[in-house]
Each structure stands twice: as structure tokens, then as C-alpha cells.
Structure 1
Amino acid sequence: MAYLAPTQELGRRFVMRGLTGNVIMLNLIRLRTVADYTGFPDIAPESPISGRAAYDLYIEHTLPYLEKSGGRLDFLAEGGSWLIGPEDERWDLVLLVRQKDMETFFAFEQDPDYMKILGHRTAAVEDSRLLPLGEISS
């Protein structure tokens, strides 16, 4: 089973956590070999591209909206197989995305202009995990 978007129940649980201060989203991304723009013909490239190329387009188009909301991309790295974990599981990309609080996260996610380019992510991603993290003060 692939996970591409939050369910209503998981969204409710996230809100109920009541995280305060910075919220960091740990993203684990498994990419498609070839991006699937079937549901997004209006933003599809003229010829087929890889899932990685589609995700690169998503990042390029998303960064201005993320920064406008006060967020930022803290970390982007190539993944791979686990050192400790299921031997047959891999994640191609790992991202840490920071928002100053839950409110700005929701404002970013609901920006109508951002929503127009979200299809690049959907076309690129075969499976994903998104774990909201709350910073612990030392």
C-alpha cells in the first residue's frame, strides 16, 4: 500500500498533538521510475521524465511558496536501503522541512498557487512517509 497524502484521521491526530514552536517535517520519498502525469496534463512535460526529475520540478516550484510562508528546506539528501530496518525497503530522498509553527504549515499547504503545482509531487512519488517532529528545547 502506498501513502501519498494524509488521511482525515491522521490529519486530526496531527492537529490534536498541539505542537508549539517549530514543526519539522521528516519526509521519506520513494520515487517512480517514470513520472505519472496522468491526472495532471496541464503541468505535464512534453515528453516523459523520471520521477526524480518530476520531484526536482516540485522542489523548484515549491520553494518560493515555502519561503513566503516563513518555512524552509533544512535538509535534502539521497536515501537508500536501511542499515537497521526492513531489508527490502528503500527511500530515494530524505527531506527535513521546517515551519515556524502549525499555523504556517497549514497556510503553506492550503495556498491555492502551491496547490496548482502539487501535481509534480504526485507524478513523482511512488510512496512516502511524513512525520511531523516537534523540537525539544535543551
Structure 2
Amino acid sequence: MHLHASPDQIDAIAEGDPDEPVVMLNLLKYREVAESGHGVDGMSGEAAYREYGRRFAELHPRFGGEPIWMGRAGNIAIGPDDEDWDIAILVRYPTRSQFVAMFRDPDYHAIAPIRAAALADSRIIETTQLLPKT
């Protein structure tokens, strides 16, 4: 179960070009019922994640974090058969430094427990553009 970034993971991301835009691939598996004690008691994992998303949107002016694509995750064509994701989201940050700053910000730390309460497992994978923009 992977719900929190480690300081070493954020430090590794911070080593890249601070001004480069990044798109973070989020793979999410909801809990049936959100973990208690984080203000989303009794909600489904999906509903609790929507609450996290609402609060995350309030941070958008400072950090970017604009969802550019979201969809239901389907069958795995290549990869472990035991991974099962509900949702995939691509979130664009104008700069890598804004993403890193978000993970180090106390306002983000205040809402991160809601994300963890909502999810059974997750991945956030940094991506940078290789193909020319059209």
C-alpha cells in the first residue's frame, strides 16, 4: 500500500529542472469505506477522494495542479495481474518546483490525510514531455 511520498522521493523529483513543466500520472484504488478519523468518516473512498479533490482545488492558484485527463482504469495489458486501479488521472503542474513546494507545504499536509483515508493504494509517477508540442 503506497499512500504517502517519502522525503527522499520528493528530493529526487526536486533534482530535476525546477522550471520544467511536469505531468503527474496518478493511479488510484479507492477504499470501500474511507478510513475514520480524517473528517470523511462514513463516506465511500470515492466520495472522500472527491472531498480531497475539492480541497486540493483551493490550492491550485499557488501550485498549479490542473487535472488535464481523468478516466476509469481498465484491464492491464502489460504488467502485474494483481494491480487493480479504479481511476487514472493526469495532473499538470506548470513547474516541477511548484509540485515539490506543494508536497512541502503545511496547507497540503493538512489535506493529505483525507487522500490517504480515501485510498487503498496509489501511485504518483512524474512524467515530462518528450514529443514536440503540437
Q: TM-score range by the shorter chain?
A: 0.7 to 0.9
Alpha-carbon separation, structure 1, partners of 2:9 and 2:100? 14
- Paired residues of 2:20 and 2:95 also in contact (CA < 8 A): yes
1:70 matches 2:64: yes
For 1:129 and 1:64, locate their aligned partners in 2 and report how far apart those are by CA, in whole Å: 22
The number of residue pairs the alignment matches comes to 132
Instruction: Give identity over the alignment, percent.
Output: 31
Could you list the per-position Cα deviations for residues 49-91 of structure 1 after superposition, in whole angstroms to 9, with x for gaps in the alignment?
A: 1111111111111112124423311111111331222223211
Kindly state the Cα deviation for residue 137 of structure 1 after the two structures are TM-superposed. Answer: 4.7
2:129 is matched by which residue type in structure 1?
E
1:126 to 2:114 alignment: no
Instruction: For 1:105-124, list aligned pairs within 5 A.
Output: 105-124=99-118
SS of the aligned residue for 2:3 comes to: coil
- Check 1:113–1:31 CA distance in 2 against 1; reply closer, same or farther (3 A cut): same
Flag structure 1 segments of 5+ consecutive residues without an equivalent.
none
Query: TM-score of the superposition, structure 2-length normalised?
Result: 0.84
8 A contact 2:14–2:97 mirrored in 1: no
Query: Which one of 31, 44, 58 corresponds to residue 40 of structure 2?
Result: 44
Q: Which protein has the bigger strand share? A: 1
Cα distance in structure 2, aligned partners of 1:112 and 1:9: 18
- Unmatched tracts of structure 2, length 5 or more: none
Moved beyond 4 Å, runs of 4+: none
- Corresponding position: 1:86 with 2:80: yes
| Cα root mean square deviation, aligned | 2.0
**What's the counterpart of residue 91 of structure 2?**
97
SS at structure 1 position matched to 2:123:
strand
